[in-house]
Amino acid sequence: MPSIADIEDEIVDELSMFDNWMDRYGYIIEIGKGLPALDAQYKTDAHRVHGCQSMVWLNTFEQDGVVCYEADSDAFITKGLIGLLVRVLSGQPAQDIADAPLTFIDRAGIRKHLSPNRSNGLGAMVATMKRQALAQLIKREGQDLPAQTAS
């Protein structure tokens, strides 16, 4: 599996191929369209990313020692943004996700081309994904701890 930094570099390179932001937005929208459908059972308030103007749902689970994400949104650009984050972070170790500075967002110029509301929403998506990765790490480490016995 490529590292988070490697995937970030790929995205920066891909977005740099476009001469203008309308084409880059189109590419980001296509990333969102490529997301697998999110099962309706995850389109609930418990799976909603709060802090986004659009509806964004995120399912997080651990599989084979890495954190996996599934996501959806009701807005095209937002769905593309969460799609980029899923591409970068899904399949990575929880600690790597928690520590990732996610520099591609600024290196590719994504944040500066978003409205303030979308930029805040992007920050909420990143924070939620990192928080859920840490929760998976804590859950796994808790399972690895021996049960305490009463003395």
- DSSP assignment of the chain: ---HHHHHHHHHHHHHT-SSHHHHHHHHHHHHHTSPPPPGGG-SGGGB-TT-SS-EEEEEEEETTEEEEEEEESSHHHHHHHHHHHHHHTTB-HHHHHH---THHHHTTTGGGS-HHHHHHHHHHHHHHHHHHHHHHHHHHHHHSPPP---
Provide the CB-side half-sphere exposure for 65 (13 A, CA): 2
- List residues with catalytic annotation: 52
Q: Rounded to the nearest 10 degrees, how much is the dihedral formed by the CA atoms of 16, 19, 20, 26?
A: -70
